[in-house]
Structure 1
Amino acid sequence: MAHPDSPPALALGGIAKHYGYVKALDGVDFHVNAGEIVSLLGDNGAGKSTLLKVMSGAHAPSEGTIRIDGKLVTKYTPSVASDLGVEMVYQDLALVDTLDISTNLQLGREPLRPFPLSLFGFVDFGKMHKATRTQLDKLGVRTAPPERAVEMLSGGQRQVTAISRAAVRLFERGGGVILMDEPTAALGYEQTLMVEALIKRMAAAGFAIVLVTHNLPLCLNVSDRIVVLNRGRKVADVMRAQADHNKIVSWITGADRAEEAVA
């Protein structure tokens, strides 16, 4: 966990997002600390996907501020977010099925063979596989050999690979923020447990994690804090101990008063 006096790894202040006359987000404050898992919940159309896109730099907010490690960021784009240590794991995973695990994890940063072969772009696959094993060992990931093609992996193994890729990119920085969009969608029970365990290990390693999910058991199992949106507004921001299944459903549906739920 972060030091009590440390600024949040990622903080949004007064975020609003308008699409013409439609207000998708209305004055949302949000933050996540290093080593913390925050689940972002809400019904379809509540604004959680829009907020996640603002966090990743894919959508520019109409109003509000974005701070990384306490520093105000302007002109926030996906490339800027990545440079500052914010990585997004998309629901479609964005993996290259025909390539192996190592290449997917190192895509764009592949180690090259010694000179003069490096001049022709020859990849040092031995070095790449060794580096991948070391990186996955740090995460406690041993689901498949680094040489195995992604198209041969199960759904859970693919999801773990996509999450591991984001974590590997942040290892060099010593930490960062990982945004996850429905990481257990369409996964079975055992595969969900595999992803759940990885999320907990990454938080223990100091990563700040934002989890968008409809899976309430997953949310209750891994979250340190829970944030709920309803019609573009934040209606709950509570520690896990203050929430249970019934309360979360009441916040999502709007049955509970917002001011009573926000910590």
Structure 2
Amino acid sequence: MAFDMGATILSLQGVNKSFGPIDVLHDINLEIRAGEVLCLLGDNGAGKSTVIRLLSGVHKPSSGTITMDGKPLNFASPREAADHGIATVHQFGGTFPLMSIGRSFFVGREPVRWVGPFKVYDRKTANDIAVKAVQNFGITRIEDGDRLVGGLSGGERQALAIARAVHFGARVLILDEPTAALGVKQATHVLRIVNEAKRRGLAVIFITHQVMHAMAVGDHFAVLIRGAIASDFKKGEKTREEITDLMAGGASMATLEAEIESNMAGHDA
């Protein structure tokens, strides 16, 4: 798949999000480009999760526009966002601990083969493709597609989820706190994978509150405070201390977002 490096893939223009009388995002303007890592920074509850949900089709903006390749988006579901090439990888990779690597890689899209008049899951094909895809991202110690995902390290799970997204045609990769629960060595593996995704021309949105990790891979940075962009800058324009001070200036919205999610869960029940 060819990518037009540097071209704007996603654009948010004047995006606001409210839940009833509660305003969560205010006038968000962002551009996400191919071959670039946008680091979305902010303390817990700054509004990062709501941005993710808007881009991945979970929520719709209350006002403003989100465009992809210049065309307005109005996703009805996360599956529709995925079909357009927007893949979200959550903190623990969205993998299934009791599944094999091959089965987890293809869950919902399993390759099949014919046995007489019946279609059956093609375990060998799934395992071969999954192992090769993960190894292409530098995780070479994974050699057995029958190995259970639960036996992988946190970094390896992230690699599996990212490799899966790329294999199925992702153009925009949203990584939600991918290094938050990892040790130094595992986090370093994930950062290398982020750089590899960028090298391949994907647009990467790296959500984190860890400034050092953001600075290691980021090209473009946006700091969220209380649901608004407090600063938008390029690599090299601010120091680590300046970014940390910016992030520290925002009061947490964690309680607010937790309350909203609880109310929504109650309505869904």
Q: Secondary structure at the match of 1:61?
A: coil
1:41-56 matched pairs, under 5 angstroms:
41-56=41-56
Correspondence 1:225 to 2:224: no
- Deviates further, 122-131 or 224-233: 122-131
Q: Distance in 2 between matches of 1:153 and 1:201?
A: 20
What TM-score, normalized by structure 2, do the two folds share?
0.86
Amino acid at match of 1:185: A
Give the aligned CA root-mean-square deviation in angstroms: 1.8
Amino acid at match of 1:89: V
Q: Which moved further from structure 2: 219-228 or 124-133?
A: 124-133
The answer to whether residue 178 in structure 2 is matched with residue 192 in structure 1 is no
1:104 touches 1:165 (CA, 8 Å); kept in 2?
A: no
Alignment correspondent of 1:150: 149
Report deviation, 1:11.
1.1
Q: Which runs of 5+ in 2 are unaligned?
A: 251-269
Counterpart for residue 258 of structure 1: none
Residue 139 (structure 1) aligns with: 137
- In structure 1, what is the equivalent of residue 158 of structure 2? 159
CA contact (8 A) 1:102 1:128 kept: yes
Cross-structure match for 1:130: 128
Q: Deviations over 1:195-232 (max 9, x none)?
A: 11111001101111001111111101000111111111
Aligned residues: 247
Percent of counterpart pairs with the same letter? 33
Distance 1:160 1:135 in 2: 9
Q: Is the 8 A contact 2:137 2:159 kept in 1?
A: no
Structure 2 SS opposite 1:113: strand
Partner of residue 31, structure 1: 31
Q: What 5-or-longer segments of structure 1 have no aligned partner?
A: 256-263
AA partner of residue 163 (structure 1):
I
2:239 is aligned to 244
- Aligned-pair CA distance for 1:162: 2.0
Relative to structure 1, the CA distance from residue 128 to residue 223 in structure 2 (aligned partners, 3 Å threshold; closer, same or farther) is: same
**Aligned counterpart, 1:178:** 173
Separation (CA, whole Å) in 1 of partners of 2:5 and 2:148: 40
Distance of 1:75 and 1:212 partners within structure 2: 21
Q: Distance in 2 between matches of 1:93 and 1:219?
A: 18
The CA distance in 2 between the partners of 1:192 and 1:160, in whole Å, is 11
Matched residue type, 1:111 = P
